[in-house]
């Protein structure tokens, strides 16, 4: 079985890319390479390439990972807030629904693009998928 190694520092011909700054630039909707160009052409669709440095950006494979992260983040925020309010105040079921449902929707919509940008930045920094300079192929079953 081929060993998979992630991270620029362990790639012999590649210089290490710092993960945290790349994720931060992605979080801000900027190109993870230069931090100047836009990362997104529309709400969740990345641009083909950075208009400042030319880094190709549409080779990421973020897939559903940003949505999973948003669910975890929003779940922790809303459940913590719900339990805090519930223990301090006595609200009706209607008041709870009027409070937590919109908060959940607003937080989810607000966080999805920044979280996807951070995931794309992480994939770029770690040379994952199309950012590794080679064609990204789907893994097949070993016996297929």
Binding site for Zn ion (CB under 5 A): 31, 33-34, 37, 50, 52-53, 55
| Pairwise CA distance, residues 66 & 26, whole Å | 12
Which C-beta is closer to Zn ion: that of 38 or that of 61? Answer: 38
Which C-beta is closer to Zn ion: that of 49 or that of 78? Answer: 49
- Smallest gap from residue 38 Cβ to Zn ion (A): 9
Tokens 């199309």 correspond to: 130
Angle between helices 19-27 and 93-125 (to 10 degrees): 130
- Smallest gap from residue 115 Cβ to Zn ion (A): 20
Which C-beta is closer to Zn ion: that of 30 or that of 129? Answer: 30
| Pairwise CA distance, residues 100 & 92, whole Å | 12
Tokens 């994720």 correspond to: 23
- Smallest gap from residue 46 Cβ to Zn ion (A): 12
The secondary element (H helix, E strand) that includes residue 112 is helix 93-125
Which C-beta is closer to Zn ion: that of 50 or that of 74? Answer: 50
- Smallest gap from residue 53 Cβ to Zn ion (A): 3
């Amino acid at each position: 079985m081929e060993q998979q190694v992630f991270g620029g520092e362990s790639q012999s011909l590649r210089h290490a890319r710092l993960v945290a700054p790349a994720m931060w630039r992605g979080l801000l909707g900027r190109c993870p390479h230069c931090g100047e160009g836009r990362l997104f052409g529309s709400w969740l669709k990345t641009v083909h390439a950075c208009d400042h440095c030319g880094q190709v950006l549409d080779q990421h494979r973020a897939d559903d990972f940003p949505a999973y992260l948003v669910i975890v983040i929003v779940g922790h925020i809303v459940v913590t807030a719900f339990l805090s309010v519930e223990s301090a105040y006595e609200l009706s079921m209607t008041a709870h629904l009027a409070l937590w449902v919109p908060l959940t929707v607003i937080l989810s919509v607000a966080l999805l693009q920044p979280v996807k940008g951070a995931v794309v930045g992480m994939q770029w920094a770690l040379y994952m998928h199309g950012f590794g300079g080679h064609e990204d192929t789907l893994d097949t079953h070993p016996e297929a």
